Amino acid sequence: MLNCEIWDPFTLFSPLRSEIPEPKLLPDEVEIKQARSLIIDLPEERNGKVDLYIDDGVTIGIDDDINRERLASAMPLAIHIATRELAEHEHITRDKMQVIKKLIAEGALAEVLIILGWIYNTRILEITLPENEYISWTNQIRKLLEIKFVDREELRTLNGRLNHVSAIMPLAHHFMNRLRQLETAMEPYKKYSIRIPLLEGLILHLNILTKALQGISMNLLTYREPTRGYQTDACEYGIGGHNTIGRSYRWKIPYHLLGRAHINVLEFLGELVGPWIDIIEGTLGQEECILSMGDSTTAIRWIHRSRVKKKEQCQFDYEAKQRVSRKFASLMIKNNHLLYSQWFPGQDNIIADCLSRDWHYNDAEIIELLTYILPKQIHPKFSIAPIPKEIDSFLCSILSQLPKRMQRLIQPKTSGFVLGESGENSCPQSALDAMNIWKLFPPGNDTSYYSPSDKQYEMQNTRWDGLRDWLRQQSAIPLHTCHRPSDLLRSKIPD
């Protein structure tokens, strides 16, 4: 109906159209927030759209004089057409499908609206948890923290509420494992004591609920163009990585901490270090879309998934992974950044491999060799600086809690690249493309909030097209993330 060009809402409308209140708009002083660029192309729907959930519907569209009338009239008219009497004298009396009281209370077009338990502010692009729900849910957690006992029904209720919050903060799922595990193991009508690890998780959920009350930007919930990239690698003796603005780091594992962590844990720590450095040094802009890249499929998967411990899994490694994943999630949630991850082959991860393995060279020699061998691929501002003390302390803390295993102490192996016998011509094209990826990202803090000139817009589109092509070479965009799970819709959204 919204897309019907011949429909005139001023001449064809529902009998209840007059009951719909006037639109509720925010003051003109409230600025319109700009949406960030997407990595997928969506069809332009200037006529608006309707979304339904069971017996509730929401109409969304651009605010102008024509659209206002169409958006306000479409839903009542559609319901009237579907449920109206087909004859003047029908034998079966039909009840009105629209509840007039609800229509008057909730039927007005508005820039701020509660949808499925969330407050949507379309002017500033923000989703907020209603205050009454925040008070009720935090009181439940504080009560459990005080009595330290819980039964299955109460825990099931709490898990449902916290899962609701995780819908707008996906990384909060990292903090749900122990709660779900306890619920699964519980018997009905029996209280269980809440142990210290679970108490710590509940305290973290209080912070997450506070963040939900303050509001989450819709720009953190869309499929965005990455604005800052990180390439990392690790070996049994060190961690190294670099970002797309030239900042690099190397961290050599202290001798007394060698042979403790599994290589996957070290790779996962490497994924954490790069963004954390930029957060501490203040080089990230607002609501950045971070792309963490590495050659460990396990570490890349851990960024977004924290499963319950398996029986054969080492308890120490599992706890280390949990601490790192929660730290990663906390940093992203607290600082309002969106986190993506991407695996790419180890043979293409040349620079990070050198930074993590080649400890027979100092920082200056690494920079000189890489600049000499790969002058076209190295970022013009490429530099190596020590990691902040806060991060160094965290890394040492993680490793110190792991037992030493002699079988993990293997003979150190260099990258073999910066030995003077390799060069650009000996690198596969895929490796050169991976090293050139910094050219496809914004040069510094993301400026996509501001309207670029025509030339800047053209350069920006060219850069994004190149980044999309590189990402597609590594893995296609999952089909299930691009459309609804409907048997009637099988094709992808157009690229």
Give the model confidence (pLDDT) of 186-211 as tens digits: 887 788 888 888 888 888 899 999 99
Instruction: Indicate if 385 and 262 belong to the same structural domain.
Output: yes
Q: How does DSSP classify residue 174?
A: G
Q: Which of 473, 470, 465 is nearest to 39 (CA)?
A: 465
Point out the least confidently predicted range of 151-165, 293-307, 417-431. Answer: 417-431
Share above pLDDT 70 across residues of the chain, in percent, rounded to a whole number:
88
d(CA 55, CA 391): 50
Beta bridge partners of 234: 239
396 & 269 share domain: yes
In this prediction, residue 433 carries a pLDDT of 81
Higher per-residue confidence, 63 vs 234: 234
Contact 248, 230 (CB under 8 A): no
| Interstrand relation of 228-235 and 238-243 (parallel, antiparallel or unpaired) | antiparallel
Contacts of 415 (CB under 8 A, 6+ apart): 350, 353, 354, 357, 358
Domain match, 237 and 214 both: no
pLDDT greater at residue 267 or residue 377 = 267
Q: Are strands 56-60 and 126-128 parallel, antiparallel or unpaired?
A: unpaired
Average pLDDT over residues 100-118: 86
Residue 95 CA to residue 374 CA, distance in Å, equals 76
Q: Identify the pLDDT of residue 239.
A: 96
Task: Determine the Cα–Cα distance for residues 207 and 142; give it in Å rounded to an integer.
Answer: 12
171 in Cβ contact with 341 (< 8 Å)? no
What's the Cα-to-Cα distance from 57 to each of 68, 156, 211, 422, 473, rounded to whole Å? 16, 28, 28, 62, 39
Q: Which residues are paired to 243 by β-bridges?
A: 230
| 23 CA to centre of own chain | 33
Of residues 385 and 441, more confidently modeled: 385
**Across 110-119, 260-269, 456-465, least confident range:** 456-465
Q: pLDDT > 90: what percent of the chain?
A: 34
Cα–Cα dist 163/179, whole Å: 11
DSSP assignment, residue 22?
P
- Calpha distance 95→72 (Å, rounded): 22
Question: What type of residue is 399?
Answer: L
In a domain, 166, yes or no: yes
Do residue 112 and residue 197 come from a single domain? no
- Distance, in Å, from the CA atom of 124 to the CA atom of 218, rounded to the nearest integer, reads 9
Name the residue among 391, 489, 491, 471 with its Cα closest to residue 224: 471
Specify if 485 maps to a domain.
no
Name the residue with higher pLDDT: 347 or 129. 129
Q: Please give the pLDDT value at position 432.
A: 80
Nearest to 115 by CA among 52, 158, 157, 46: 52
State which amino acid sits at residue 95.
Answer: D
Which of 124, 147, 168 is the last residue before a domain boundary? 124
Question: Highest mean pLDDT range out of 134-143, 322-331, 401-410?
Answer: 134-143
By DSSP bridging, strand 289-294 and strand 228-235 are parallel
Q: List residues bridging with 232 in a β-sheet.
A: 241, 294
Inside any domain, residue 12: no
In degrees and rounded to multiples of 5, residue 50 shows phi and psi of -120, 135
Q: Are residues 292 and 436 in the same domain?
A: yes
Question: How far is Cα 224 from Cα 150, in angstroms, rounded to an integer?
Answer: 40
* pLDDT over threshold 80, residue 308: no
The pTM (predicted TM-score) of the whole model is 0.83
At 430, list the tokens. Answer: 């895929």
pLDDT recorded at residue 45: 82
The domain of 342 spans 228-452
Is 459 inside a domain boundary? Answer: no
Q: Is residue 31 domain-shared with residue 99, that is, in the same domain?
A: yes
**Residue 196 lies inside a defined structural domain of this protein:** yes
477 burial (CB, 10 Å; 0-12 / 13-18 / 19+) is middle
Q: What are phi and psi of 142, to 5 degrees?
A: -65, -35
> How does DSSP assign 315-367, residue by residue?
HHHHHHHHHHHHHHHHHHHHTT-EEEEEE--GGG-HHHHHHHH-TTS-HHHHH
Q: Which of 124, 140, 170 is the last residue of a domain?
A: 124
- Model confidence at 130, pLDDT cuts 50, 70, 90, reads very high
User: pLDDT at position 455, please?
Assistant: 53
In a domain, 486, yes or no: no
Window from 223-227, 256-260, 469-473 with minimum mean pLDDT: 469-473
What are 440-464's pLDDT values in tens digits?
Answer: 888 765 444 444 555 555 566 676 6
Residue 4 lies in a domain: no
Same domain, 149 and 236: no
Q: Is 232 in the same domain as 216?
A: no
Q: Are residues 89 and 151 in the same domain?
A: no
Kindly tell me if the per-residue pLDDT of 488 is higher than 60.
Answer: no
**pLDDT per residue over 5-51, tens digit each?**
888 888 898 888 888 888 888 998 999 998 888 888 788 888 888 88
Rounded Cα distance, 426 and 417, in Å: 10
- Number of domains present in the structure of the chain: 3
Band (103; pLDDT cuts 50, 70, 90): confident
Q: What is the pLDDT of residue 426?
A: 61
Nearest to 263 by CA among 187, 203, 184, 346: 346
- C-beta separation of 273 from 251 below 8 A: yes
Per-residue pLDDT, 475: 62
What's the mean pLDDT when you consider all of the chain? 83
Among 9-13, 75-79, 264-268, the range of highest mean pLDDT = 264-268
Between β-strands 192-193 and 216-217, what pairing exists: parallel, antiparallel or unpaired?
A: unpaired
SS (H, E, C) 424-461: HHHCCHHHHHHHHHHHHCCCCCCCCCCCCCHHHHHHHH
Q: Are residues 40 and 60 in the same domain?
A: yes
Q: Do 120 and 236 lie in a common domain?
A: no
Mean pLDDT of 77-102: 77
Q: Which of 66, 97, 124 is the last residue of a domain?
A: 124
Residue (of 5, 304, 68) closest to 169 by Cα position? 304
Q: What pLDDT shows up at residue 279?
A: 95
Tell me the pLDDT band of 490, cut-offs 50, 70 and 90.
very low
Residues in Cβ contact with 11 at an 8 Å cutoff, skipping those fewer than 6 apart: none
- Is the residue at 345 inside a domain? yes
Claim to verify: residue 315 and residue 210 sit in the same structural domain = no
Over residues 48-67, mean pLDDT? 83
